[in-house]
Amino acid sequence: MRTEFTFIIAALMSAPRSARAAADYAAPGPETFTTTDFGNGTAGSLGGKLVVPMRAGKYPLLVNTHGFSGNAAQQLGWGEHFASYGFVAVVPSMPGGLPPDHKANGDVIRALALLFSDPSYASAAQGKVDAERIGLSGHSEGGLQTTFAAALLKPRATLLFDPVDYQMTGRPVYATVCSPIMAIFAEPGSCNTQADWSTFKTTSLGPQIFLDVIGSNHCDPINPAMIGCDLLCGGASSPQNQANYARYATAYFLAMLKDDAAAATTLTASALSSDAALRNTLVRDAPNCAIVPADGGIDASADGAGPPDVAMPPDAAQPGDGTIVDAAMTEVGSDVSITPDARNEAGNDAFAPRMDAAREEAVDAAMPPMAEPPASDAGSPADRASPPPPSDGPSPSTPPASAENAGCDCSVAARGRPWSAGLLSALLLSAAVIGRRARRGR
C-alpha cells in the first residue's frame, strides 16, 4: 500500500522549486464563488451558509463549524476563503444547550457532509462536490464536535482551530480518530486554559500535524474577526495572527484534499520549525484509515492498530512538560510531510462510511460519565460559558446565541455586556449541575 510518505516524496521531487514558496495561502485564492443560505433544520442544524466556486467542475467539500455561543457568521470568512481556493464550504449554525450535546452536534456535522456531497441532493452545490474528498474544520467547542464527527466519518482531513474539551469527554473519542488531523493552537487564555487539548493531542491514531501560533489568542480563528472577543478571552487577536492560521489551514486542505505538492512543502517538519511565528511544531506519519480502511469502517481504533508502513523514530520530547516539539522524521529525511490519500488508491469511505450500530456504540463507550465538578471550580473563569444574551428569536442564518461550555462568549462580548467572570462561572456551574440532577431524576 502506498503511504503518505510515498506521495509526498514524489510530489516534492516533481514540484518546481519556484512553486514551493510562490503562494501565500493567507491571501484570497483565484476562484470566484457564490454564498447562499440553507434552511433551519437542514441535517439537524440551525441553518447556515453554503459557499460554492462558480467555475464548472467538482470540488472537495468542507464543513466549517463555529465555537462557543456562535453561529455561521463566525466561520463564514473561512468558508469563503477556502472556496476561493476551490472548495465547496458548508458553514452551519449549530444547536446549543447548557451544556450542548457534543456527540449529537458531531452527528449533525457528519450528516451535513453526507447530505451536501450526495449528488441527488438539490442545492447550489449539487453536481459540484467530489464525494470522495471531504474535510472538516472546527473552532473551540466546534473542534470537540468536529472530533466526534471525524471519529465516525473518517474524512480525508480534519482541522481543529484551538480546540477545547469539556470534562474530558472528547479525549477518549479523539483517541479513536484514525484519519489525518491538523491542530493549530493559540496561547493560553481565559477561554481555553482548562481545555488541555495539548495534553492528549498526540493520542489520535492517524497522521498528525500540530503547531502553536505565537502571540495568537482564542479569538483569532473567528473569521471574520469579532470586535470585543478579546475582552473576554484575553490577549489580542490580530490580522497577522489570523493570517498565520489561514496560511497553514489552507495549505493543509490543499495538500490533503487536492494533492497540491506546492502546498505540501509548507507543511514539512523543517518548514514549520523554521517559521519564527510558530512553536511546538510536530509532523508525524501513521497509518491512515481514510485511505484504505482495513475494517470496512466498523472500528476506527483497529485501523491504526497495526505498525506503520514507514518506521517512525521516537518523538522528540521537550524537557519538563512533555510537549512534542519539531519531531523530524529522520527515516526519510526532515523535508517530509503528511499528505492526502494515495491518489487513485482511495476508496469512497469519506462519502459513505460503512458504519453500523456497533461503531456508534464503540464511540459512545469511549465517553466517560459526566462527573459533577467540585465546588472549588465555581469561581474559575476559564473555559466557562455565560448566559445567552437576549434574542429576537432564531433564524436560519442567525440562531440565538446559546450558552455553551468552552471558549469565549464572543456574542456577549461583542455586545459589551458587563458580565463578571465570577458570576458567569457560577451561573454556568449551577445550571449544569441542576440539569444533570434533573436528568438523573428522570
Per-residue pLDDT tens, the chain, 442 aa: give them: 344 444 444 454 445 544 444 589 999 999 999 999 999 999 999 999 999 999 999 999 999 999 988 999 999 999 999 999 999 999 999 998 888 899 999 999 999 999 999 999 999 999 999 999 999 999 999 999 999 999 999 999 999 999 999 888 999 999 999 999 999 999 988 888 766 898 999 999 999 999 999 999 999 999 998 888 888 887 778 899 999 999 999 999 999 999 999 999 999 999 999 999 999 999 999 999 995 333 333 333 333 333 333 333 333 333 333 333 333 333 333 444 444 433 333 333 333 334 445 545 554 555 444 444 333 333 333 333 333 333 333 333 333 333 333 333 333 233 333 333 333 333 333 444 444 444 444 4
Q: Please tell me the predicted confidence (pLDDT) of residue 312.
A: 34
Rounded to whole angstroms, how far apart are CA atoms 315 and 221? 28
Grid coordinates of 47: 441553518
**Model pTM score:** 0.68
Q: Find the radius of gyration of the CA atoms of the chain.
A: 20
The domain made up of 4-366 has a fold known as Rossmann fold (3.40.50)
Grid coordinates of 381: 473563569
Q: Please tell me the predicted confidence (pLDDT) of residue 414.
A: 33
Rounded to whole angstroms, how far apart are CA atoms 202 and 207? 10
Alpha-helix residue ranges (DSSP H) falling in 165-211: 170-174
Burial (0-12, 13-18, 19+ Cβ within 10 Å), 322: exposed
Parse the chain into domains and list their residue ranges.
4-366
Q: Please tell me the predicted confidence (pLDDT) of residue 438.
A: 47
Q: Please tell me the predicted confidence (pLDDT) of residue 189.
A: 86
Given a contact cutoff of 8 angstroms between Cβ atoms, the answer to whether 299 and 359 are in contact is yes
Element of type H or E holding 241: helix 239-258
Sheet (strand 129-139) strand order:
33-38, 48-53, 88-92, 59-65, 129-139, 157-161, 181-185, 208-213, 278-284
